[in-house]
Amino acid sequence: MRAHVPDQHSRRGSVVGMGLIEHFDGETGLETHCCFCSMQCRMELHVTEEQPGWAVKPSQTFPVATGRLCQKGFHSPRHAFHPDRITTPVVRLGTGAAPIESVPWQPAGWNEAFESIAKQIQELQAQYGRDSVAVYGGGSLTNEVCYLLGKFTRVALGSRYIDYNGRYCMSSAAAAQNRAFGADRGLTMPLSEIVNAKYIILAGTNIAECQPTMMPYLLAAKKNGAVIVTIDPRQTMTSKIADIHVKLQPGFDSVFVNGLLNVIISESLYDQRFVAERTVGFDSVVEAVRDFTPERVSAITGIYEEKIRAIARGFARAESGIVMTARGLEQQINGVEHTLNYINLALLCGKIGRPGCGFGAVTGQANGQGGREHGQKADQLPGYRLIEDPEARRHVAEVWGVEPDSLPGKGVSAYELFDKVLEGEIKAMIVLGSNPLVSSPNSGRVEEALRKLDLLVVIDMFETETARFAHWLLPGSSFLEAEGTLTNVEGRVFHRPKVCEPPGNAKLDMDIICELAKRLGSGKYFAYGTPERVFDELRRASAGGKADYSGITYERLQEEQGIFWPCPSEGHPGTPLMYAERFEHADGKARLVGINPGKPAETMSREYPYLLTTGRVGSHYLSGAQTRRTEALTSKSPVPVAEVHPTLAARIGLRPGDNIKLTSRRGTAVFPVRVTEDIHPTSVFVPFHWGGERSVNRLTSDALHPVSRMPEFKICAVRVERIEGRDREHEGAGAGAASESGGRARK
Ligand SMILES: Nc1nc2c(c(=O)[nH]1)N[C@H]1C(S)=C(S)[C@@H](COP(=O)(O)OP(=O)(O)OC[C@H]3O[C@@H](n4cnc5c(=O)[nH]c(N)nc54)[C@H](O)[C@@H]3O)O[C@H]1N2
Ligand SMILES: Nc1nc2c(c(=O)[nH]1)N[C@H]1C(S)=C(S)[C@@H](COP(=O)(O)OP(=O)(O)OC[C@H]3O[C@@H](n4cnc5c(=O)[nH]c(N)nc54)[C@H](O)[C@@H]3O)O[C@H]1N2
Ligand code: SF4
Ligand SMILES: [Mo]
């Protein structure tokens, strides 16, 4: 196959064979952005003489991470140029009674694919209603593709059922920020404010492994005299730079923060003027924290009273300060409340809306921010408008040229889409930009749902674990191929140029959605041609909404280094620092919400005496579909390794070379072990980047937060057993060294 590299800032080049770059003119290489985390570091792709024929260099021009990339960034093109890329549509015909994954794929033409899929969708909708077809989107896609997926579902399918993987990611933080501030932008301040902060609290966020190029901001703050506190059940790479680490049992953030608030209120350390002028709800906090004295919080959590007092006093008295949270405390059935309590802390101390201050729920995916603003969420229309709000429906329907009444109502959250499949209401699903069989909780049940679908269409670069159950697998585009805009961790919207054409017969995601819409009879609503035209419509749809992009143009984005939303007019500079004068509620005030800490869905019991918590390692990304195909990353982390405390290891008689078997109420899985003092004695940590028998999501709990519908990925009760290792090569090396690399996993 021979693909063509388009003009990019007047440079030309080509991509040949398995994606090897033949030549690019110009010394600076082709500009793109890493496809992985929310930092969205800019990078240049250069041609080299040596294998693999290209090299990545960090960009010197993007202010977010100038001159820096992490290990994933340097290797990010590898999966895009990987021979596993599917390059033509494939289909499973006549599946009959055979298990679907046993039916071989057959190659098909695009015309056949579109015709056949459209026909089956129309038949299912005629028989079972419009809501029988669902869409499952993703947060790594461009704003344009996210926007198109929402519009496609509401206009071309006329279905209420769309949601996306960001539900598993930002939904608790979003609900909390909307409640407290009246808007939801991950960080309320640009990253550049971190260096001005004198006290930084990092809760449930492992920045060193998950947003590595943010670390220099924290180190610079430290150099300027900032105190850094980390709150996590584990000592992490991030907590290594902390002055104080709070090793908290999973699930206890609200209790702990109530302890801090109790000290701040009882010692009158809070910012009385800020609280009086800029917030409402102070009394609810006073009431909620009354009984959470440091003595009591210490008795509950095991954290020393003096540590609680020191952090409370330090943060409250510091002239500036920042609180950041991430999935550690958000991915819980009390995740909204935990986040609200950390927001209470920032608000009570008046540390929002001025230099060196802010609250941030650190977004995760490449477009974790934009992905949730343009209509992929079950209850939202573009611009963060609510689909049940008549005025929002009227505005968006006008932009789309449809009747407001034709727009469906709100649907259900990502995991609940699978409930609807099992209940029989959803018969067909289109998945674009996610691998939910690996990333959903209680994944055995998700597999059951996927098997039940009459039609599963997966649009991806690879045959993922989810695609093993698909009827159609359509080759979509990688980050190197799709031009568009994304919105990074700061709320900075930027433009990512196109570097090359999709390989073989693969198509741009945008073109696949628009063509399918056409075959479903809605072509006139999807006649764009270029991503810029999609963006121009997105701007109009978002105008006047909370996430207002209307003043942002492709032209401005080429000239400026990104623009922070809200940006309501072309003359507007954008909004790096939010809430300087007012919050987004009608009265301009923030809401303080006193929290009465709730319990997780599962706690330790005789039968399940430990807590399983899950998360990430630095060398893999999410379901691993991309990074497990990158040798340089897989060699660092070939299999998931469970972290356990020495007391647990001793209790089960763990010996070097042994594995452990974890059993939850939903399933069992075996992992190699790393014994470490770094983890809380009650807990076991396992990363989730693998599928099949190594997938920790076979065990995780599908309990959902009542409002955000976030699953409790971070806590479930497990039993831990020793599985004797036949491999004794490290006999005598001590349990601490056992299976560190995970290389001896037998599964
Ligand atoms: N290398 C890498 N980087 C990534 C990703 C990736 O997959 N790999 N994914 C990206 C995405 S989409 C996201 S959302 C972000 C996620 O970024 P993070 O949220 O930082 O990552 P996690 O490892 O899921 O969880 C963070 C920490 O929460 C801790 N934790 C567990 N339970 C609790 C608790 O009850 N309270 C507290 N305070 N902490 C707890 C865990 O021990 C863990 O160290 O990372 C992004 N960056
Ligand atoms: N146990 C546990 N589970 C978790 C979490 C946890 O902490 N613990 N974290 C949750 C979080 S925060 C998240 S964000 C989810 C993410 O979970 P997933 O959505 O499953 O993660 P990805 O691996 O990013 O899946 C993206 C898929 O889309 C494909 N893809 C990537 N880019 C493109 C593109 O531009 N076009 C097309 N067509 N395809 C593309 C990739 O090949 C991949 O198959 O996982 C959640 N699951
Ligand atoms: S920090 Fe994030 S965006 Fe930057 S190179 Fe690493 S994974 Fe990519
Ligand atoms: Mo995420």
| Region 652-665 average pLDDT | 97
Q: Are residues 137 and 42 in the same domain?
A: no
Domain boundary among 16, 49, 81: 81
147's enclosing H/E stretch is helix 143-151
Q: Does residue 253 share a domain with residue 142?
A: no
- What is the average pLDDT across 709-715? 98
Structure tokens at 554: 């492709």
Neighbours of 409 (CB within 10 A): 11
pLDDT surpassing 50 at residue 741: no
Closest atom of ligand 2 to CA, residue 466: 44
Question: From ligand 4's centre to the CA of 199, what distance in Å?
Answer: 26
| Cα-to-centroid distance, 348 and ligand 1 (Å) | 26
CA-nearest residue for atom 16, ligand 1, is 364
pLDDT at 644 over 50: yes
- What's phi and psi for 686, nearest 5 deg? -135, 130
* 460 and 342 part of one domain: no
Which burial class, exposed, middle or buried, applies to 410 when counting CB atoms under 10 A from its CB (0-12, 13-18, 19+)?
Answer: middle
Candidates 489, 250, 201; CA nearest to 348 is 201
Which residue type, as a one-letter code, is found at position 360?
G
Number of H helices, E strands in the chain: 23, 31
Relative to the CA of 479, which ligand 2 atom is closest?
35
Cβ contact 168:434 at 8 Å: no
- Which residues' Cβ are closer than 6 Å to ligand 3? 34, 36-37, 39-41, 65, 69-70, 72-73, 211-213
> Is 596 a member of any domain?
no
Segment 580-613, tens digit of pLDDT: 999 999 999 999 999 999 999 999 999 999 999 9
User: What is the reported pLDDT for 739?
Assistant: 35
User: Which atom of ligand 3 lies nearest, measured to the CA of 43?
Assistant: 5
- 361, 171 Cβ separation under 8 angstroms: no
Determine the distance separating the centroid of ligand 2 and the alpha carbon of 560, expressed in angstroms.
30
Which one of 361, 394, 423 terminates a domain?
361
Q: Whose Cα sits closest to atom 1 in ligand 1?
A: 618
Do 436 and 540 sit in the same domain of this protein?
Answer: yes
Q: What distance in Å separates the CA atoms of residue 31 and residue 483, rounded to the nearest whole number?
A: 11
- pLDDT-derived band of residue 431, with 50, 70 and 90 as boundaries? very high
Which CATH number goes with the domain that contains 628? 2.40.40.20
Q: Whose C-alpha lies nearest to ligand 1, atom 35?
A: 250
Tell me if 693 is assigned to some domain: yes
Ligand that lies nearest to the alpha carbon of residue 328, given by its number in the listed order: 1
The whole-number pLDDT of residue 13 equals 35
Give me the percent of the chain exceeding a pLDDT of 90: 91
Please list, in sequence order, all residues whose beta carbon lies within 8 angstroms of the beta carbon of residue 539, skipping any fewer than 6 positions away. Answer: 549, 550, 551, 552, 553
Whether 115 has a pLDDT exceeding 60, the answer reads: yes
Same domain, 32 and 118: no
The answer on 336 and 245 residing in a single domain is yes
Domain total in the chain: 4
pLDDT in tens, 15-56: 333 343 444 444 568 999 999 999 999 999 988 888 888 899
CA of 440 to the centre of ligand 4 (A): 12
pLDDT at 15 (0 to 100): 39
Tell how far the Cα of 727 is from the centroid of ligand 1, in angstroms. Answer: 32
Return mean pLDDT, the chain: 93
User: Does residue 146 sit within a domain?
Assistant: yes
Q: Which domain holds residue 39?
A: 6-81
Expressed in angstroms, the distance from the first to the final Cα of the chain is 37
Residue 77 lies in a domain: yes
| Ligand 1 atom nearest 169 alpha carbon | 14
Among all ligands shown, which has an atom nearest to the Cα of 712?
2
Shared domain for 116 and 237, answered yes or no, is: no
Q: What is the pLDDT of residue 456?
A: 98
Question: Assign residue 69 a region: left if phi > 0, alpha if psi is -120 to 50, beta otherwise?
Answer: beta
CATH number at residue 47: 2.20.25.90
pLDDT at 94: 77
- pLDDT for 27 equals 56
Please report whether residue 566 resides in a domain. no
Task: Assess contact for 723 and 619: CB atoms under 8 A.
Answer: no
Are residue 486 and residue 338 in the same domain, yes or no?
no
The verdict on 395 and 430 lying in the same domain is: yes
Model pLDDT for residues 508-548, shown as the tens digit of each residue: 999 999 999 999 999 999 999 999 999 999 999 999 999 99
pLDDT for 26 equals 45
| Ligand 1 contact via 597 beta carbon (within 6 Å) | no
Separation between Cα atoms, residue 555 and residue 300, nearest integer Å: 56
**More confidently predicted of 731 and 288:** 288
Ligand 2 pocket check: which of 461, 500, 621 to mutate, most ligand atoms within 8 Å of Cβ? 461
Residue position matching structure tokens 């984005």: 557
Name residue 392's amino acid.
A
Minimum CA distance residue for ligand 3 atom 2: 37
Instruction: Round to whole Å and give the CA distance between 603 and 611.
Output: 7
647 domain-assigned: yes
Residues 541 and 629 in one domain: no
Task: List the CATH number of the domain containing 191.
Answer: 3.40.228.10
SS3 labels along 429-489: EEEECCCHHHHCCCHHHHHHHHHHCCEEEEEECCCCCHHHHCCEEEECCCCCCCCEEEECC
For residue 654, the CA-to-ligand 1 centroid distance in Å is: 27
pLDDT tens for residues 269-285?
A: 999 999 999 999 999 99
Residue 719 shares a structural domain with residue 632:
yes
Q: Kindly state whether residues 394 and 295 are assigned to the same domain.
A: no
For residue 597, whether the previous peptide bond is cis, meaning omega lies within 30 degrees of 0, is no
**50 vs 151, more confident:** 151
Tell me which residue has its CA closest to atom 14 in ligand 2: 169
CA distance 688 to 147: 28
Pocket of ligand 2 (CB under 6 A): 138-141, 165, 168-169, 327, 331, 364-365, 432-436, 438-439, 459-462, 464, 476-477, 479, 482, 509, 614-615, 622-623, 625-626, 688, 696-697, 700, 713
Going by pLDDT thresholds of 50, 70 and 90, the confidence category of residue 425 is very high
> Is the dihedral angle over the CA atoms 445, 450, 452, 453 positive or is it negative?
positive
Ligand 3 atom with least separation from CA of 70: 6
Given this model, what pLDDT does residue 53 score? Answer: 84
- For residue 19, which of 71, 80, 73, 61 has the smallest C-alpha distance? 80
Is the sign of the CA dihedral 746, 446, 413, 706 positive or negative? Answer: negative
Q: How far is the CA of 747 from the centre of ligand 1 (A)?
A: 25
Quote the CA–CA distance of 20 and 13 in Å, as a whole number.
Answer: 11
430-434: average pLDDT: 98
E strand spans, 470-609: 472-475, 484-487, 492-496, 563-564, 590-591
**pLDDT tens, residue by residue, 449-505:** 999 999 999 999 999 999 999 999 999 999 999 999 999 999 999 999 999 999 999
Phi, psi of 55 (to 5 degrees): -145, 150
* Domain closes at, from 299, 328, 361: 361
> Could you tell me the distance, in angstroms and rounded to a whole number, from the CA of residue 363 to the centre of ligand 4?
7
Q: What is the pLDDT of residues 70-114, one digit of tens each?
A: 999 999 999 999 999 999 999 998 778 889 999 999 999 999 999
Assess contact for 262 and 293: CB atoms under 8 A: yes
Q: What pTM was computed for the model?
A: 0.94
* pLDDT per residue as tens digits for the range 670-691: 999 999 999 999 999 999 999 9
11-16/20-24 β-pairing? antiparallel
CB distance 618 to ligand 1 below 6 Å: yes
The residues facing 674 across adjacent strands are 643
Q: How far is CA 156 from the centre of its chain?
A: 27
Q: 367-378, pLDDT tens digit by residue?
A: 999 999 999 999
What's the token pair of residue 66?
């100038």
Beta bridge partners of 11: 8
For residue 103, what are the CA distances in angstroms to 56, 97, 464, 475, 675? 40, 10, 16, 19, 42
Taking each helix axis as running N to C, give the angle between helix 509-517 and helix 143-151, from 0 to 180 degrees, rounded to the nearest 10: 20
Q: What is the pLDDT of residues 173-198, one digit of tens each?
A: 999 999 999 999 999 999 999 999 99
- Beta pairing class for 683-687 and 610-615: parallel
Pick from 140, 477, 483 the residue to mutate for probing ligand 2's pocket: most ligand atoms within 8 Å of its CB: 140
244 within domain boundaries: yes
Q: Is residue 505 part of a domain?
A: yes
Instruction: Give, using CA atoms, the residue closest to atom 4 of ligand 3.
Output: 41
